[in-house]
A and B are shown apart, each in its own frame.
Chain A
Amino acid sequence: MSIVAEHIGKAFGNPPVRILSDISLTIPDGDFVSLTGRSGAGKSSLLYVLSSLDSPTEGRVLIEGVDITQMSSKQLHATRNVKIGFVFQFHYLIAELTVLENVLVPALKLHQEVSRRPRAENLIAKFGLSDKMNRYPRQLSGGEMQRVAIARALIMQPKYLFADEPTGALDTINGEAVMSILQECNTKDGTTVIMVTHDPDFAKMAKRQIRMADGRIISDG
């Protein structure tokens, strides 16, 4: 099973501005891909299209052989809930929930907050936040909040993890800690990780680097 993009194109606005042009690629299970390139190259746009957050203007995306552009809203959200995890540059934690409750938000959708609680506590402990389990986001540092966001992305044991500049708002130490977590997810749990990054050092930590420019893939390897 894998993620397959077939002749993806994306344009928006009036007159249309082309963001992605004829992109085709296959990401096999267990891969760790970094999308790199200058600002405006289309990295994040491609990430959003591959992850179902955005829809392509042309082409299609298949996840596990299913065309996500043809899925119903219910199927799409179910897929996002169970099979896909997201980490963004901004943590997007819910301010009114504690660390533990934020991590369990995806499980709340399926009423699995009780059964998934041990895993949530394990993830929080693994990321060095055991003593902060009942604290609110406003009581955490930037790095700590990003780690909570990653724990939230992993609570449902997703097959695919999409990360958009996960270290963009972090200092070096916290950035390295986040990259370490992503690598561990990939190597130990077999999670397929697709990550957008500006940092060439972090890009090299991936198994495969896809470079983009002007909405096209210019190198893949």
Chain B
Amino acid sequence: MDEGLRNELSKQGVFTTTLQELYNWGRRSSVWPLNFGLACCAIEMIAASMARFDIARFGAEVFRPSPRQADLMIVAGTVTKKMAPLVVRLFNQMPEPKYVIAMGACAISGGPFKQGYNVLKGIDRYVPVDIHIPGCPPRPEALLHALLKLQEKIAAQPLTGEHRPRHLSPDVPGEFPVPAYGPYDLQPAKNDDVWRPALVVRTDAG
């Protein structure tokens, strides 16, 4: 719809919208996170929901204990290899549409604990991540920023066409294989459909 015409109409008290905007507005304004903390970042996540930072201003204060009722998984903390299958399982149990925020350096890449034998080097090896927040731990403001970014992302999702989100495409799976505990490592060590290591050409000269 033409932007000028819409402005003109709104001055005269007529509100126009599209189905897509209305649908996305409703979805983005009440993102319910999963009440799911892993480590240090979870404390800052709790702090973000407390009086000072008040995540309720953005419609995301309803932390749900059950994945069945949640829209957003905030992976707040170090994902260890012992925990990774359970994180993927929780993500699988969430209904579509669902989103993932990787909060903190550990959830992004393993962070300071990257060289640990039991630390997963980033949850995006198994599930697709929408927003990454750097920091160790990120401040609550950073979490709010990530939430706003997620809202922008939701608002921009088209309902039809090639770029429509996962839950509107019937053939795109919304669930991801859960890794199994192996004798030395998780099996598989990463989900190739979700994550591939960056192709790096290394020369010994540098």
- Answer whether A and B are interacting partners: no
List B residues at the A interface (Cβ < 8 Å).
none
